[in-house]
Amino acid sequence: ATAVDWARVRADFPLLTREVHGKPLVYFDSANTGQKPEAVIEAVDDFYRRHNANVSRAVHALGTEATEAYEAARAKLARFLNVRADELVLCSGTTFALNLVAYSWALPRLRPGDAIVVSRMEHHANIVPWQLVAERTGATLKVAELDERGDLDLERLYALLTPEVRLLAVAHVSNVLGTVNPVREICREARRRGIVTVVDGSQAAPHRALDVAAIGCDFYAITGHKMCGPTGTGALWARREHLAAMPPFLGGGEMIKEVRFEGTVYNEPPHKFEAGTPNIAGFVGLGAAVDYLSALGMAHVEARERELLAHFNEALAAVEGVRVFGAPREKAAVVSFLVEGAHAHDLATLLDLEGVAIRSGHHCAHPLMQHFGVPATCRASLAFYNTHEEIDAFVAALRKVRRLLA
């Protein structure tokens, strides 16, 4: 129980008032993308109505306003993550951020005989870039496996961290199981062995108060659209020494100091990694999203989501024939499940007719599906703006759908 008026918070999200197939919407797909509060929608609208211009190129008033707004968003996001703004590269999302590390840090450094460690629970965005690097450099990929609960088997993980390992890439929070990994401890163990660490924070930033500096990683990636911000926004935090040593990923305007055919001088980080016109309006929106979440308080967000998850687990456990995947020690409000005798997609399709939006499929985590021996699961993912009534409506819909499929 917190002092926050959650009904008022929910009212900040206009989309949540709509109906789907004649039923009130129950949106349980926030791990896929989050809904946006009025403040974010207004910030984007206001930027286009009153301030729109490109960043950094124009001396006129609008150009200055646009640049200041874009840099203000970087500063807000840096404060939110507890990192330095000049170590925060703004980009289109986690996928871009992880590829930036793969192409600018790993590709020029790795050699045949080197190894990269990833975990079994990674999103494809934290697997495929490393496979591409391994293919091109001759490095190998090693996999950290899970225990029965869906937690990383830490002993086995540390045993994998042999001298040829150069890089360890791991999710802070699993998008399928909700597992919250002890990234601080993992990064400490890796660092002790001279291994560079990349943490995928996509599913952590929307749900936990973050202190990226305290985690002790080398790189931390986030995506804006899962934390109340617009799509096409995200960031990579990296230690200054890495950013200074890394070659640019993309070339173009904004990322240079001086261009000559004899040789080009790059801009200082983080601008060195921000070629071309960025998603300015999107970042203005992300700045508003960070303001919104900060005002709400991430500790309140976390407490609210714990409460909702406890209710959700209890309600789901009362439905017969449900298999829940994973029971990690520390878990965000993401639940993967299957109903006996029903295909995941059929279940999700029928739930949609009841107004309930959940995701079905592999959740961009094929290796995790292979671990459980299933092609797909259903996934309900909650956010602070969901309600206890929605959980009851979901379970009623699930019971109805189960009867239909039986």
Handedness of CA 146, 148, 153, 155 (dihedral sign): negative
Residue 267 or 381: the one with the smaller Cβ distance to ligand PMP is 381
Q: How far are the Cα atoms of 50, 89, 162 from residue 129, in angstroms, in the given order? A: 39, 18, 21
Q: Does 360 bind ligand PMP (CB under 6 A)?
A: no
Q: Binding residue for ligand PMP (CB under 6 A) from 51, 76, 120, 123?
A: 123
Of 52-60, 90-98, 254-262, 396-404: span binding ligand PMP (CB under 6 A): 90-98
Residues 6 or more apart whose Cβ sits within 8 Å of residue 295? none
Q: Are 301 and 207 in contact (CB under 8 A)?
A: yes
Q: Go through the chain and tell me how many residues it has.
A: 406
The reply on whether position 30 binds ligand PMP by CB under 6 A is no
Task: State the minimum distance, in angstroms, from the CB of residue 188 to ligand PMP.
Answer: 22
Q: Does 94 bind ligand PMP (CB under 6 A)?
A: yes
Distance CA 332, CA 206 (A): 10
Instruction: Give the CA distances from residue 282 to residues 20, 92, 231, 236, in Å, rounded to whole numbers and listed in that order.
Output: 27, 9, 7, 16
Tell me how far CA of residue 273 lies from CA of 10, 237, 244, in angstroms. Answer: 37, 12, 11
How many residues bind ligand PMP (CB under 6 A)? The answer is 14
Can you tell me the distance from the alpha carbon of 363 to that of 399, in angstroms, rounded to the nearest whole number? 24
The residue (of 66 and 121) whose beta carbon lies closer to ligand PMP is 121
Asked if 279 is part of the footprint of ligand PMP (rule: CB under 6 A), the reply reads no
- Please check whether residue 31 is in contact with residue 361, taking contact to mean a CB–CB distance below 8 angstroms: no
Asked whether 15 and 364 are in contact (CB, 8 A), the reply is no
Give residues with Cβ within 8 angstroms of 56, minimum separation 6. 63, 67, 254
Residue 27's H or E segment, with its range, is strand 26-27
Query: Hey, which residues are catalytic here?
Result: 364
Closest to ligand PMP by CB, 162 vs 370, is 370
- Contacting residue, 35, 137, 197, 223, with ligand PMP by CB under 6 A: 223
Distance CA 285, CA 293 (A): 12
Under the criterion CB under 6 A, does residue 203 sit at the interface with ligand PMP? Answer: yes
Residue 281 to residue 13: CA distance in whole angstroms: 19
Contact letters for ligand PMP, residues 45-84 (x by CB under 6 A)? ----------------------------------------
The answer to whether residue 171 forms part of the interface with ligand PMP (CB under 6 A) is: yes
Q: How far is the CB of 145 from ligand PMP (least distance, A)?
A: 18
**Interface with ligand PMP by CB under 6 A: which range of 121-129, 177-185, 270-278, 343-351?**
121-129
CB of 361 to ligand PMP, least distance (A): 11
- Which region among 89-97, 153-161, 314-322, 344-352 touches ligand PMP (by CB under 6 A)? 89-97
- Judged by CB, which is closer to ligand PMP: 6, or 325? 325
Of the pair 223, 279, the CB lying nearest ligand PMP is at 223
Q: How far apart (Å, rounded) are the C-alpha atoms in residues 7 and 9?
A: 5
**Residue 99 lies near ligand PMP (rule: CB under 6 A):** no
Task: Please state, in angstroms and rounded to a whole number, the distance separating the CA atoms of residues 110 and 256.
Answer: 26
For 190-212, give the DSSP string. HHHTT-EEEEE-TTTTTTS---H
* Residue 95 makes contact with ligand PMP by CB under 6 A: yes
Q: Does 197 bind ligand PMP (CB under 6 A)?
A: no
CB of 364 to ligand PMP, least distance (A): 6
CB of 178 to ligand PMP, least distance (A): 11
**Interacting span for ligand PMP (CB under 6 A) from 12-20, 118-126, 293-301, 375-383:** 118-126
Of 34, 93, 285, 287, the residue at the interface with ligand PMP (CB under 6 A) is 93
Report the interface residues with ligand PMP, using CB under 6 A. Answer: 93-95, 123, 125-126, 171, 175, 200, 202-203, 223, 225, 364
